[in-house]
Structure 1
Amino acid sequence: MNTTSVRAPQDDIAAQHWQGGPICCTDCEYSYLLSLGEGQGCEPGHACMQDAYARRIDRFFRWNPMLSDEQLGHAYFEVRAIAARRASVFRLTALINDPDETVRLQVALRLPQTLLAKLVNDPHREVRIRVAQRLAPPALAALRHDPDYGVRELVAQRLPLPILSTLANDPDRAVRMRVAQRLEMPALLRMADDTEAEVRRIVAERLPVALLSHLSHDADWRVRWEVAQRADAHTLHSMQEDAEPEVRQVVQDRLAHHIIPLGASHG
Protein backbone atom coordinates (compact mmCIF):
# COMPACT_ATOMS: atom_id res chain seq x y z
CA MET A 1 0.00 0.00 0.00
CA ASN A 2 1.35 3.40 -0.97
CA THR A 3 1.52 5.86 1.88
CA THR A 4 1.67 9.61 1.76
CA SER A 5 4.06 11.98 3.47
CA VAL A 6 2.14 13.92 6.07
CA ARG A 7 2.53 17.21 7.86
CA ALA A 8 1.63 17.27 11.54
CA PRO A 9 2.05 20.47 13.59
CA GLN A 10 4.92 20.44 16.06
CA ASP A 11 3.99 18.73 19.36
CA ASP A 12 0.75 17.48 17.79
CA ILE A 13 -0.43 13.88 17.82
CA ALA A 14 1.21 11.91 15.03
CA ALA A 15 -0.97 11.20 12.01
CA GLN A 16 -2.45 7.71 11.97
CA HIS A 17 -5.23 6.02 10.07
CA TRP A 18 -8.36 5.54 12.18
CA GLN A 19 -7.98 1.76 11.75
CA GLY A 20 -4.30 1.92 12.67
CA GLY A 21 -1.19 2.27 10.54
CA PRO A 22 -0.13 5.08 8.18
CA ILE A 23 -2.36 7.34 6.10
CA CYS A 24 -2.75 6.24 2.48
CA CYS A 25 -4.15 8.80 0.06
CA THR A 26 -4.15 6.63 -3.06
CA ASP A 27 -7.02 4.50 -1.73
CA CYS A 28 -9.03 7.45 -0.43
CA GLU A 29 -12.22 8.44 -2.24
CA TYR A 30 -11.31 12.09 -1.71
CA SER A 31 -7.75 11.95 -3.06
CA TYR A 32 -8.75 14.48 -5.72
CA LEU A 33 -8.99 17.11 -2.96
CA LEU A 34 -5.22 17.07 -2.49
CA SER A 35 -4.78 19.41 -5.45
CA LEU A 36 -7.14 22.07 -4.11
CA GLY A 37 -4.80 23.46 -1.49
CA GLU A 38 -5.15 24.52 2.12
CA GLY A 39 -8.56 25.65 3.26
CA GLN A 40 -10.49 24.00 0.45
CA GLY A 41 -9.23 20.47 0.01
CA CYS A 42 -7.37 18.12 2.32
CA GLU A 43 -3.88 17.65 3.67
CA PRO A 44 -2.67 14.47 5.40
CA GLY A 45 -1.58 15.19 8.95
CA HIS A 46 -3.52 18.46 8.99
CA ALA A 47 -7.00 18.07 7.46
CA CYS A 48 -7.87 14.45 6.80
CA MET A 49 -10.99 12.33 7.13
CA GLN A 50 -8.95 9.12 7.34
CA ASP A 51 -7.09 10.30 10.45
CA ALA A 52 -7.87 8.91 13.90
CA TYR A 53 -7.49 12.38 15.47
CA ALA A 54 -10.80 14.25 15.81
CA ARG A 55 -9.21 17.67 15.33
CA ARG A 56 -7.91 16.78 11.89
CA ILE A 57 -11.23 15.20 10.92
CA ASP A 58 -13.02 18.36 12.03
CA ARG A 59 -10.66 20.49 9.96
CA PHE A 60 -11.41 18.33 6.93
CA PHE A 61 -15.16 18.91 7.26
CA ARG A 62 -14.68 22.62 7.96
CA TRP A 63 -12.85 22.83 4.66
CA ASN A 64 -15.40 20.59 2.92
CA PRO A 65 -18.79 20.96 4.67
CA MET A 66 -20.62 19.83 1.53
CA LEU A 67 -19.25 16.33 2.08
CA SER A 68 -20.79 15.93 5.53
CA ASP A 69 -24.00 14.28 4.32
CA GLU A 70 -21.97 11.61 2.52
CA GLN A 71 -20.21 10.43 5.68
CA LEU A 72 -23.04 10.03 8.19
CA GLY A 73 -22.75 6.28 7.79
CA HIS A 74 -18.96 6.08 8.14
CA ALA A 75 -17.65 3.19 10.23
CA TYR A 76 -15.60 5.46 12.52
CA PHE A 77 -17.76 7.16 15.16
CA GLU A 78 -15.62 10.33 15.19
CA VAL A 79 -16.28 10.85 11.49
CA ARG A 80 -20.03 10.39 11.97
CA ALA A 81 -20.09 12.71 14.97
CA ILE A 82 -18.11 15.48 13.27
CA ALA A 83 -20.00 15.15 10.00
CA ALA A 84 -23.24 15.50 11.97
CA ARG A 85 -22.21 19.03 12.99
CA ARG A 86 -22.52 20.29 9.43
CA ALA A 87 -24.80 17.79 7.72
CA SER A 88 -28.31 18.69 6.61
CA VAL A 89 -30.74 18.54 9.53
CA PHE A 90 -33.00 16.47 7.30
CA ARG A 91 -30.39 13.69 7.34
CA LEU A 92 -29.87 13.62 11.11
CA THR A 93 -32.85 11.39 11.86
CA ALA A 94 -30.80 8.45 10.57
CA LEU A 95 -28.44 8.95 13.52
CA ILE A 96 -30.99 9.13 16.36
CA ASN A 97 -30.27 5.48 17.18
CA ASP A 98 -26.56 5.57 16.39
CA PRO A 99 -24.65 3.06 18.57
CA ASP A 100 -22.22 5.74 19.81
CA GLU A 101 -23.31 8.42 22.29
CA THR A 102 -20.80 10.91 20.84
CA VAL A 103 -22.74 10.85 17.60
CA ARG A 104 -26.12 11.06 19.30
CA LEU A 105 -24.86 14.01 21.35
CA GLN A 106 -24.18 15.97 18.16
CA VAL A 107 -27.60 15.01 16.86
CA ALA A 108 -29.23 16.26 20.08
CA LEU A 109 -27.56 19.63 19.58
CA ARG A 110 -29.05 20.11 16.11
CA LEU A 111 -32.32 18.24 15.76
CA PRO A 112 -35.38 20.45 15.25
CA GLN A 113 -37.86 20.56 18.14
CA THR A 114 -40.33 18.34 16.34
CA LEU A 115 -37.80 15.47 16.43
CA LEU A 116 -35.85 16.21 19.59
CA ALA A 117 -38.34 14.38 21.79
CA LYS A 118 -37.21 11.13 20.18
CA LEU A 119 -34.07 11.35 22.34
CA VAL A 120 -35.71 11.84 25.76
CA ASN A 121 -35.11 8.16 26.58
CA ASP A 122 -31.57 7.99 25.24
CA PRO A 123 -29.46 5.57 27.32
CA HIS A 124 -26.67 8.13 27.90
CA ARG A 125 -27.11 10.95 30.43
CA GLU A 126 -25.08 13.52 28.46
CA VAL A 127 -27.42 13.14 25.51
CA ARG A 128 -30.48 13.57 27.73
CA ILE A 129 -28.89 16.61 29.37
CA ARG A 130 -28.55 18.26 25.95
CA VAL A 131 -32.16 17.37 25.23
CA ALA A 132 -33.25 18.94 28.53
CA GLN A 133 -31.33 22.10 27.64
CA ARG A 134 -32.95 22.46 24.22
CA LEU A 135 -36.40 20.95 24.46
CA ALA A 136 -39.28 23.43 24.43
CA PRO A 137 -40.51 23.92 28.05
CA PRO A 138 -43.98 22.43 27.48
CA ALA A 139 -42.35 19.19 26.28
CA LEU A 140 -40.04 18.87 29.30
CA ALA A 141 -42.65 16.99 31.34
CA ALA A 142 -41.41 13.80 29.69
CA LEU A 143 -38.09 14.18 31.53
CA ARG A 144 -39.43 14.88 35.03
CA HIS A 145 -38.77 11.31 36.13
CA ASP A 146 -35.43 10.84 34.40
CA PRO A 147 -33.15 8.49 36.39
CA ASP A 148 -30.33 11.07 36.43
CA TYR A 149 -30.61 13.96 38.88
CA GLY A 150 -28.61 16.25 36.56
CA VAL A 151 -31.27 15.90 33.89
CA ARG A 152 -34.06 16.54 36.39
CA GLU A 153 -32.21 19.58 37.74
CA LEU A 154 -32.22 21.13 34.26
CA VAL A 155 -35.88 20.26 33.90
CA ALA A 156 -36.61 22.01 37.22
CA GLN A 157 -34.94 25.16 35.88
CA ARG A 158 -37.05 25.26 32.70
CA LEU A 159 -40.31 23.46 33.41
CA PRO A 160 -43.43 25.66 33.09
CA LEU A 161 -44.54 26.98 36.48
CA PRO A 162 -48.01 25.37 36.41
CA ILE A 163 -46.46 21.88 36.61
CA LEU A 164 -43.24 22.71 38.48
CA SER A 165 -44.75 21.58 41.79
CA THR A 166 -44.68 18.00 40.50
CA LEU A 167 -40.93 18.07 41.22
CA ALA A 168 -41.27 19.45 44.74
CA ASN A 169 -40.86 15.97 46.20
CA ASP A 170 -37.99 14.89 43.98
CA PRO A 171 -35.64 12.50 45.82
CA ASP A 172 -32.58 14.67 45.12
CA ARG A 173 -31.86 17.81 47.15
CA ALA A 174 -30.31 19.70 44.20
CA VAL A 175 -33.48 19.27 42.16
CA ARG A 176 -35.70 20.47 45.01
CA MET A 177 -33.43 23.49 45.48
CA ARG A 178 -34.04 24.46 41.85
CA VAL A 179 -37.76 24.02 42.37
CA ALA A 180 -37.72 26.20 45.51
CA GLN A 181 -35.96 28.96 43.57
CA ARG A 182 -38.85 29.20 41.09
CA LEU A 183 -41.99 27.87 42.73
CA GLU A 184 -44.82 30.27 43.45
CA MET A 185 -47.27 30.45 46.33
CA PRO A 186 -49.06 28.52 47.73
CA ALA A 187 -46.93 25.56 46.58
CA LEU A 188 -43.79 27.29 47.86
CA LEU A 189 -45.12 27.26 51.43
CA ARG A 190 -45.47 23.49 51.33
CA MET A 191 -41.71 23.24 50.79
CA ALA A 192 -41.11 24.88 54.18
CA ASP A 193 -41.29 21.34 55.58
CA ASP A 194 -38.59 19.96 53.28
CA THR A 195 -36.17 17.57 54.98
CA GLU A 196 -33.10 19.49 53.73
CA ALA A 197 -32.05 22.75 55.35
CA GLU A 198 -30.66 24.13 52.08
CA VAL A 199 -34.08 23.82 50.49
CA ARG A 200 -35.81 25.45 53.47
CA ARG A 201 -33.26 28.27 53.41
CA ILE A 202 -34.23 29.09 49.83
CA VAL A 203 -37.88 28.99 50.86
CA ALA A 204 -37.07 31.45 53.65
CA GLU A 205 -35.54 33.80 51.07
CA ARG A 206 -38.70 33.81 48.99
CA LEU A 207 -41.71 33.39 51.27
CA PRO A 208 -43.94 36.43 51.76
CA VAL A 209 -42.89 38.23 54.94
CA ALA A 210 -46.23 37.51 56.60
CA LEU A 211 -45.53 33.77 56.38
CA LEU A 212 -41.94 33.73 57.61
CA SER A 213 -43.06 32.73 61.11
CA HIS A 214 -43.45 29.20 59.72
CA LEU A 215 -39.65 28.99 59.65
CA SER A 216 -38.70 31.24 62.57
CA HIS A 217 -37.93 28.26 64.80
CA ASP A 218 -36.47 26.00 62.16
CA ALA A 219 -34.03 23.35 63.39
CA ASP A 220 -31.20 24.79 61.26
CA TRP A 221 -29.73 28.15 62.29
CA ARG A 222 -29.02 29.11 58.68
CA VAL A 223 -32.71 28.99 57.89
CA ARG A 224 -33.53 31.10 60.96
CA TRP A 225 -30.81 33.56 59.95
CA GLU A 226 -32.52 34.04 56.57
CA VAL A 227 -35.83 34.56 58.34
CA ALA A 228 -34.28 37.19 60.60
CA GLN A 229 -33.06 39.13 57.55
CA ARG A 230 -36.61 39.74 56.33
CA ALA A 231 -39.06 39.09 59.15
CA ASP A 232 -41.55 41.63 60.48
CA ALA A 233 -41.51 42.98 64.03
CA HIS A 234 -43.84 40.32 65.44
CA THR A 235 -41.67 37.44 64.17
CA LEU A 236 -38.45 39.15 65.19
CA HIS A 237 -39.64 39.56 68.79
CA SER A 238 -40.35 35.82 68.92
CA MET A 239 -36.75 35.13 67.86
CA GLN A 240 -34.94 37.24 70.45
CA GLU A 241 -33.94 34.20 72.50
CA ASP A 242 -32.67 32.18 69.54
CA ALA A 243 -29.99 29.66 70.51
CA GLU A 244 -27.61 30.83 67.78
CA PRO A 245 -25.62 34.04 68.50
CA GLU A 246 -25.50 34.96 64.80
CA VAL A 247 -29.27 34.85 64.57
CA ARG A 248 -29.77 36.80 67.82
CA GLN A 249 -27.39 39.48 66.53
CA VAL A 250 -29.38 39.99 63.34
CA VAL A 251 -32.63 40.13 65.32
CA GLN A 252 -31.22 42.66 67.80
CA ASP A 253 -29.72 44.84 65.09
CA ARG A 254 -32.92 45.02 63.12
CA LEU A 255 -35.08 45.72 66.16
CA ALA A 256 -32.65 48.31 67.51
CA HIS A 257 -32.52 50.22 64.26
CA HIS A 258 -36.18 49.70 63.42
CA ILE A 259 -35.10 48.14 60.12
CA ILE A 260 -38.21 46.15 59.55
CA PRO A 261 -39.03 46.36 55.84
CA LEU A 262 -41.92 44.45 54.45
CA GLY A 263 -39.50 42.57 52.19
CA ALA A 264 -40.02 41.17 48.75
CA SER A 265 -42.90 38.86 48.15
CA HIS A 266 -42.41 35.52 46.43
CA GLY A 267 -41.50 35.42 42.72
Structure 2
Amino acid sequence: MPDDDLGLPLDWKGRPIRCRECNHRAINAMGLCVKGKACIRDRRARRVDRFLKGNPDLADQYLDHPYFEVRAGAARYANVFRLPPLLQDPEPEVRAMATLRLPEDRIRDMIRDEDIDVRIAAASRLKGADLMPAIHDDAYMVRITAVRRMPAELLPLVCHDPDPEVRSWVARRIDLRALPDMCFDTDPLVRREVAERLPMDQLRLLVNDSDLRVRFTVAERIAEEELEPLLDDPELAIRELARERIAQVPHLAHMLQPRTGQLRLLDTENPPADSLSTDLAPKEPSR
Protein backbone atom coordinates (compact mmCIF):
# COMPACT_ATOMS: atom_id res chain seq x y z
CA MET A 1 0.00 0.00 0.00
CA PRO A 2 1.21 3.55 -0.67
CA ASP A 3 2.48 5.57 2.27
CA ASP A 4 1.53 8.92 0.73
CA ASP A 5 -1.66 10.49 -0.66
CA LEU A 6 -0.87 9.94 -4.35
CA GLY A 7 -3.16 6.95 -4.83
CA LEU A 8 -2.50 3.35 -5.76
CA PRO A 9 0.91 2.48 -7.24
CA LEU A 10 0.14 2.19 -10.96
CA ASP A 11 2.57 2.47 -13.88
CA TRP A 12 2.31 5.08 -16.63
CA LYS A 13 -0.09 2.82 -18.56
CA GLY A 14 -2.38 2.41 -15.56
CA ARG A 15 -1.31 -1.14 -14.72
CA PRO A 16 -0.57 -2.34 -11.16
CA ILE A 17 3.14 -2.25 -10.28
CA ARG A 18 4.74 -5.58 -9.38
CA CYS A 19 8.23 -5.41 -7.93
CA ARG A 20 9.04 -8.92 -9.11
CA GLU A 21 8.79 -7.69 -12.72
CA CYS A 22 11.24 -4.81 -12.17
CA ASN A 23 14.92 -4.72 -13.11
CA HIS A 24 15.75 -3.15 -9.76
CA ARG A 25 14.88 -5.99 -7.42
CA ALA A 26 18.36 -5.80 -5.86
CA ILE A 27 17.84 -2.12 -5.08
CA ASN A 28 14.45 -2.93 -3.64
CA ALA A 29 15.98 -5.60 -1.42
CA MET A 30 18.37 -2.97 -0.03
CA GLY A 31 15.49 -0.61 0.69
CA LEU A 32 16.58 1.93 -1.93
CA CYS A 33 13.18 1.89 -3.59
CA VAL A 34 9.72 1.16 -2.21
CA LYS A 35 6.54 0.53 -4.16
CA GLY A 36 4.07 3.30 -3.51
CA LYS A 37 6.75 5.70 -2.29
CA ALA A 38 9.92 5.73 -4.43
CA CYS A 39 9.54 3.90 -7.72
CA ILE A 40 10.84 4.52 -11.24
CA ARG A 41 7.90 2.65 -12.75
CA ASP A 42 5.22 4.70 -10.98
CA ARG A 43 3.13 7.16 -12.98
CA ARG A 44 3.35 9.76 -10.21
CA ALA A 45 6.21 12.21 -10.78
CA ARG A 46 6.86 12.59 -7.05
CA ARG A 47 7.51 8.89 -6.60
CA VAL A 48 9.70 8.81 -9.69
CA ASP A 49 11.70 11.74 -8.31
CA ARG A 50 12.17 10.02 -4.94
CA PHE A 51 13.61 7.00 -6.73
CA LEU A 52 16.01 9.09 -8.83
CA LYS A 53 17.04 11.27 -5.90
CA GLY A 54 18.01 8.16 -3.99
CA ASN A 55 19.66 6.54 -7.02
CA PRO A 56 21.03 9.41 -9.17
CA ASP A 57 23.60 7.13 -10.81
CA LEU A 58 20.72 5.42 -12.62
CA ALA A 59 19.29 8.62 -14.14
CA ASP A 60 21.27 8.45 -17.40
CA GLN A 61 19.59 5.23 -18.46
CA TYR A 62 16.12 6.79 -18.23
CA LEU A 63 16.63 9.85 -20.44
CA ASP A 64 14.90 8.13 -23.36
CA HIS A 65 12.10 6.48 -21.37
CA PRO A 66 8.72 6.57 -23.18
CA TYR A 67 7.00 8.26 -20.22
CA PHE A 68 7.76 11.99 -20.14
CA GLU A 69 7.61 12.25 -16.34
CA VAL A 70 10.46 9.75 -16.12
CA ARG A 71 12.50 11.64 -18.74
CA ALA A 72 11.90 14.93 -16.94
CA GLY A 73 12.87 13.41 -13.60
CA ALA A 74 15.96 11.79 -15.09
CA ALA A 75 17.00 15.13 -16.62
CA ARG A 76 17.16 16.59 -13.11
CA TYR A 77 19.84 14.11 -11.98
CA ALA A 78 21.54 12.88 -15.15
CA ASN A 79 25.03 13.78 -16.35
CA VAL A 80 24.75 17.27 -17.87
CA PHE A 81 26.67 16.14 -20.96
CA ARG A 82 23.78 13.82 -21.77
CA LEU A 83 21.17 16.58 -21.75
CA PRO A 84 21.53 18.52 -25.07
CA PRO A 85 19.27 16.12 -27.04
CA LEU A 86 16.48 16.79 -24.53
CA LEU A 87 16.22 20.39 -25.74
CA GLN A 88 14.37 18.88 -28.71
CA ASP A 89 12.15 16.62 -26.60
CA PRO A 90 8.46 16.73 -27.62
CA GLU A 91 7.41 17.36 -24.02
CA PRO A 92 7.91 20.92 -22.67
CA GLU A 93 8.50 19.67 -19.11
CA VAL A 94 11.53 17.75 -20.31
CA ARG A 95 12.83 20.68 -22.37
CA ALA A 96 12.37 23.02 -19.40
CA MET A 97 14.38 20.75 -17.09
CA ALA A 98 17.21 20.49 -19.61
CA THR A 99 17.11 24.28 -20.03
CA LEU A 100 17.49 24.78 -16.29
CA ARG A 101 20.63 22.65 -16.15
CA LEU A 102 22.56 23.24 -19.36
CA PRO A 103 25.11 26.07 -19.76
CA GLU A 104 23.78 29.42 -20.96
CA ASP A 105 25.48 29.21 -24.35
CA ARG A 106 23.51 26.03 -25.09
CA ILE A 107 20.06 27.40 -24.24
CA ARG A 108 19.90 30.82 -25.95
CA ASP A 109 17.39 29.61 -28.51
CA MET A 110 15.08 28.26 -25.79
CA ILE A 111 13.95 31.83 -25.04
CA ARG A 112 11.88 31.47 -28.24
CA ASP A 113 10.46 28.03 -27.42
CA GLU A 114 6.77 27.53 -28.18
CA ASP A 115 6.01 26.63 -24.56
CA ILE A 116 5.70 29.27 -21.82
CA ASP A 117 7.32 27.15 -19.10
CA VAL A 118 10.36 26.52 -21.27
CA ARG A 119 10.70 30.24 -22.01
CA ILE A 120 10.40 31.03 -18.31
CA ALA A 121 13.14 28.50 -17.60
CA ALA A 122 15.35 30.13 -20.23
CA ALA A 123 14.64 33.63 -18.91
CA SER A 124 15.61 32.49 -15.41
CA ARG A 125 19.04 31.43 -16.70
CA LEU A 126 20.04 33.88 -19.41
CA LYS A 127 21.68 37.26 -18.85
CA GLY A 128 22.15 40.62 -20.52
CA ALA A 129 21.33 40.95 -24.20
CA ASP A 130 20.24 37.30 -24.37
CA LEU A 131 17.12 38.36 -22.44
CA MET A 132 16.03 40.94 -25.00
CA PRO A 133 13.62 38.61 -26.88
CA ALA A 134 11.80 38.02 -23.59
CA ILE A 135 10.74 41.65 -23.08
CA HIS A 136 8.35 41.33 -26.02
CA ASP A 137 7.03 37.90 -25.02
CA ASP A 138 3.25 37.43 -25.08
CA ALA A 139 3.34 35.81 -21.62
CA TYR A 140 3.73 38.32 -18.79
CA MET A 141 5.46 35.74 -16.56
CA VAL A 142 8.23 35.42 -19.11
CA ARG A 143 8.62 39.20 -19.14
CA ILE A 144 8.61 39.36 -15.32
CA THR A 145 11.29 36.67 -15.12
CA ALA A 146 13.42 38.61 -17.58
CA VAL A 147 12.88 41.94 -15.80
CA ARG A 148 14.01 40.42 -12.50
CA ARG A 149 17.35 39.44 -14.07
CA MET A 150 18.21 41.96 -16.76
CA PRO A 151 20.72 44.76 -16.10
CA ALA A 152 19.18 47.91 -14.62
CA GLU A 153 20.33 49.98 -17.59
CA LEU A 154 18.02 47.97 -19.88
CA LEU A 155 14.91 48.38 -17.72
CA PRO A 156 13.78 51.72 -19.25
CA LEU A 157 12.93 49.62 -22.32
CA VAL A 158 10.29 47.83 -20.25
CA CYS A 159 8.87 50.68 -18.13
CA HIS A 160 5.83 50.95 -20.43
CA ASP A 161 5.01 47.24 -20.42
CA PRO A 162 1.24 46.65 -20.76
CA ASP A 163 1.10 44.62 -17.53
CA PRO A 164 1.29 46.58 -14.23
CA GLU A 165 2.93 43.66 -12.43
CA VAL A 166 5.81 43.79 -14.90
CA ARG A 167 6.09 47.55 -14.47
CA SER A 168 6.08 47.08 -10.69
CA TRP A 169 9.16 44.90 -11.02
CA VAL A 170 10.74 47.54 -13.22
CA ALA A 171 10.05 50.15 -10.52
CA ARG A 172 11.75 47.93 -7.92
CA ARG A 173 14.96 47.58 -9.93
CA ILE A 174 15.33 50.49 -12.34
CA ASP A 175 18.15 52.98 -11.83
CA LEU A 176 17.05 55.77 -9.47
CA ARG A 177 17.89 58.36 -12.11
CA ALA A 178 15.17 56.92 -14.35
CA LEU A 179 12.62 56.32 -11.59
CA PRO A 180 10.94 59.80 -11.60
CA ASP A 181 9.56 59.11 -15.07
CA MET A 182 7.45 56.33 -13.53
CA CYS A 183 5.70 58.73 -11.13
CA PHE A 184 3.06 59.17 -13.81
CA ASP A 185 2.30 55.48 -14.31
CA THR A 186 -1.42 54.80 -14.74
CA ASP A 187 -1.47 52.06 -12.08
CA PRO A 188 -1.41 53.15 -8.40
CA LEU A 189 0.39 50.01 -7.26
CA VAL A 190 3.23 50.81 -9.64
CA ARG A 191 3.36 54.37 -8.31
CA ARG A 192 3.46 53.01 -4.77
CA GLU A 193 6.55 50.98 -5.71
CA VAL A 194 8.00 54.21 -7.09
CA ALA A 195 7.21 56.01 -3.82
CA GLU A 196 9.02 53.28 -1.87
CA ARG A 197 12.30 53.96 -3.72
CA LEU A 198 12.17 57.53 -4.93
CA PRO A 199 14.86 59.77 -3.35
CA MET A 200 13.42 61.90 -0.55
CA ASP A 201 14.02 65.16 -2.35
CA GLN A 202 11.84 63.98 -5.24
CA LEU A 203 8.90 62.60 -3.24
CA ARG A 204 7.05 65.90 -3.64
CA LEU A 205 6.21 64.66 -7.14
CA LEU A 206 3.73 62.25 -5.53
CA VAL A 207 2.44 64.33 -2.62
CA ASN A 208 -0.82 65.04 -4.46
CA ASP A 209 -1.21 61.58 -5.98
CA SER A 210 -4.80 60.45 -6.54
CA ASP A 211 -4.29 57.18 -4.62
CA LEU A 212 -4.22 57.23 -0.81
CA ARG A 213 -1.75 54.29 -0.67
CA VAL A 214 0.77 56.28 -2.64
CA ARG A 215 0.27 59.40 -0.51
CA PHE A 216 0.56 57.35 2.69
CA THR A 217 3.90 55.97 1.51
CA VAL A 218 4.99 59.53 0.75
CA ALA A 219 3.88 60.62 4.22
CA GLU A 220 6.02 57.86 5.74
CA ARG A 221 9.20 58.73 3.80
CA ILE A 222 9.23 62.41 2.84
CA ALA A 223 11.29 64.86 4.90
CA GLU A 224 9.36 66.41 7.78
CA GLU A 225 9.88 69.86 6.27
CA GLU A 226 7.89 68.73 3.21
CA LEU A 227 4.92 67.30 5.12
CA GLU A 228 2.82 70.48 5.37
CA PRO A 229 0.65 69.79 2.28
CA LEU A 230 -0.34 66.44 3.78
CA LEU A 231 -1.77 68.12 6.90
CA ASP A 232 -4.80 68.90 4.73
CA ASP A 233 -4.99 65.51 3.04
CA PRO A 234 -8.53 64.14 2.51
CA GLU A 235 -7.58 60.95 4.40
CA LEU A 236 -7.52 61.14 8.20
CA ALA A 237 -4.77 58.49 8.53
CA ILE A 238 -2.47 60.52 6.31
CA ARG A 239 -3.20 63.77 8.15
CA GLU A 240 -2.51 62.10 11.49
CA LEU A 241 0.74 60.57 10.26
CA ALA A 242 1.89 63.95 8.96
CA ARG A 243 1.06 65.59 12.31
CA GLU A 244 2.82 62.86 14.31
CA ARG A 245 6.01 63.17 12.31
CA ILE A 246 6.02 66.97 12.38
CA ALA A 247 5.38 66.97 16.15
CA GLN A 248 8.62 65.04 16.67
CA VAL A 249 10.63 67.95 15.23
CA PRO A 250 10.50 70.89 17.67
CA HIS A 251 11.55 73.58 15.20
CA LEU A 252 8.61 72.66 12.95
CA ALA A 253 5.99 73.28 15.65
CA HIS A 254 4.77 76.36 13.79
CA MET A 255 3.46 74.07 11.01
CA LEU A 256 0.92 72.66 13.45
CA GLN A 257 -0.54 76.04 14.45
CA PRO A 258 -4.08 76.78 13.26
CA ARG A 259 -4.09 78.33 9.82
CA THR A 260 -4.95 82.06 9.74
CA GLY A 261 -5.79 84.36 6.95
CA GLN A 262 -7.47 81.63 4.90
CA LEU A 263 -10.75 82.30 3.13
CA ARG A 264 -13.67 80.15 4.24
CA LEU A 265 -17.01 79.55 2.59
CA LEU A 266 -19.82 80.52 4.96
CA ASP A 267 -22.81 78.24 5.41
CA THR A 268 -25.77 80.65 5.28
CA GLU A 269 -28.17 78.06 6.68
CA ASN A 270 -25.90 77.25 9.66
CA PRO A 271 -23.82 80.34 10.35
CA PRO A 272 -20.99 80.19 12.94
CA ALA A 273 -22.03 80.83 16.52
CA ASP A 274 -20.06 84.08 16.77
CA SER A 275 -21.79 85.38 13.65
CA LEU A 276 -25.21 84.37 14.97
CA SER A 277 -24.68 86.13 18.29
CA THR A 278 -23.64 89.27 16.47
CA ASP A 279 -26.75 89.19 14.32
CA LEU A 280 -29.01 88.78 17.40
CA ALA A 281 -27.37 91.51 19.46
CA PRO A 282 -29.38 94.79 19.68
CA LYS A 283 -28.10 97.37 17.28
CA GLU A 284 -27.46 100.94 18.22
CA PRO A 285 -29.87 103.32 16.56
CA SER A 286 -28.34 105.21 13.75
CA ARG A 287 -27.75 108.85 14.41
TM range (shorter): 0.7 to 0.9
**1:35, 1:241 → 2: CA distance?**
79
Q: How much does 1:174 deviate?
A: 1.0
Which residue of 2 is the match for residue 84 of structure 1? 75
Which residue of 2 is the match for residue 210 of structure 1? 201
Residue 6 of structure 2 contacts residue 44 of structure 2 at CA under 8 Å; is this kept in 1? no
Please say which structure displays the higher CA radius of gyration: 2
The runs of 5 or more residues in structure 1 that have no matched partner are: 1-6, 261-267
Of 1, 5, 9 in structure 2, the residue corresponding to residue 15 of structure 1 is: 9
Residue 216 of structure 1 contacts residue 235 of structure 1 at CA under 8 Å; is this kept in 2? no
- The superposition leaves residues 185-212 of structure 1 with CA deviations (integer Å, 9 ceiling, x where unpaired) of 3310000000011111221222222222
- 1:186 matches 2:177: yes
Which residue of 2 is the match for residue 117 of structure 1? 108
Q: How much does 1:45 deviate?
A: 5.8
**1:174, 1:227 → 2: CA distance?**
21
Matches within 5 A, 1:127-138: 127-137=118-128
TM-score by length of 2: 0.74
Deviates more, 1:7-16 or 1:141-150: 7-16
Which residue of 1 is the match for residue 163 of structure 2? 172
- Percent of matched pairs sharing the same residue: 40
Higher RCO (CA 8 Å, separation ≥ 6 residues): 1
| Count of aligned positions | 252
Q: How much does 1:230 deviate?
A: 2.7
Which residue of 2 is the match for residue 4 of structure 1? none
Residue 40 of structure 1 contacts residue 63 of structure 1 at CA under 8 Å; is this kept in 2? no
- The superposition leaves residues 42-98 of structure 1 with CA deviations (integer Å, 9 ceiling, x where unpaired) of 676665544333344334434543443233222111221122122221221111121
**2:27, 2:126 → 1: CA distance?**
41
Deviates more, 1:241-250 or 1:89-98: 241-250
The runs of 5 or more residues in structure 2 that have no matched partner are: 252-287
**2:216, 2:3 → 1: CA distance?**
58
Q: How much does 1:118 deviate?
A: 2.6
- The superposition leaves residues 202-258 of structure 1 with CA deviations (integer Å, 9 ceiling, x where unpaired) of 212222222222111111122222222233355322333222222222222223322
Deviates more, 1:66-75 or 1:56-65: 56-65
Residue 61 of structure 1 contacts residue 83 of structure 1 at CA under 8 Å; is this kept in 2? yes
Which residue of 2 is the match for residue 57 of structure 1? 48
